[in-house]
Structure 1
């Protein structure tokens, strides 16, 4: 559980912004999104290979 101490006289929007930033850094949102739907291991592996090919293509184009 995330705990955000609020200082005396601190604006609630500022505290909410700190909470959102801390929430994003923990990776909880990403974990929730991945657990929302089951993906087969073969689909995940294929996506990983396609991403690697894309990145390699960008690197090759940069070196030309």
Structure 2
């Protein structure tokens, strides 16, 4: 279990530390900046939290 947790934590850390995903795209003309990188990062973090919740609730043997 600790190896799986270490793998998940390292994956989360690499996503959080990659600044290219969190930076907004440069605005073009009069349009506001595109925050699609930040949105993808948020959805990834929320998905990881939900996946851990499903694992903890249904799949973990105690």
Larger Cα-atom Rg: 1
Q: TM-score, normalised by structure 1?
A: 0.38
Q: TM-score, normalised by structure 2?
A: 0.39
